[in-house]
Amino acid sequence: MLEFKAGAREGTVMNRIAKGYSDTEIAAVAQHFAALGQTAAAGRVTPSALADACAACHGTDGMSPGAIPALSGKSAGYIARRMHEFRADVREGTVMNRIAKGYDNDEIAAIAQHLGNQ
């Protein structure tokens, strides 16, 4: 985050996003997600909490209001397939390849089940 903010690291949207946060806020957000990772490892994170990480871009319950593709109305199978394709770099994207790499098979399945067909 701090690298995006300083422009030291290139991105399509993250440079813009990171500039909107103070260093203290970035530290707080980083801590929040680090804690989420630990909960996931402990197997206590709910599919709904996992899918919340997608809502920032894809909209609440996948109903994106903007340029980012909506996930609502797509099947769980479709969402899971796309996530696997992004993760394996079989399908190109601007941000999704990076994001998808943060999830294991079980988490992708849980997120897809949660968001699919809403």
Residues that bind ligand HEC (CB under 6 A): 53-54, 56-58, 68-69, 71, 79, 82-83, 93-96, 99, 111
Write down the least CB distance from residue 46 to ligand HEC, Å: 14
Question: Is the Cβ of residue 7 or residue 77 nearer to ligand HEC in the bound state?
Answer: 77
Q: Which is nearer to ligand HEC, 18 or 83 (CB)?
A: 83
Burial class of residue 95, CB neighbours in 10 A (0-12, 13-18, 19+)? middle
Residue carrying structure tokens 């909506």? 70
> Looking at this protein, which amino acid is placed at residue 13?
V
What gap in Å lies between CA 71 and CA 19, rounded to an integer?
A: 27
CA distance 97 to 87: 5
Q: How far is the CB of 14 from ligand HEC (least distance, A)?
A: 7
**Closest CB to ligand HEC among residues 40, 54:** 54
User: Is residue 59 a contact partner of residue 102, using CB atoms and an 8 Å limit?
Assistant: no
Q: How far is the CB of 6 from ligand HEC (least distance, A)?
A: 19
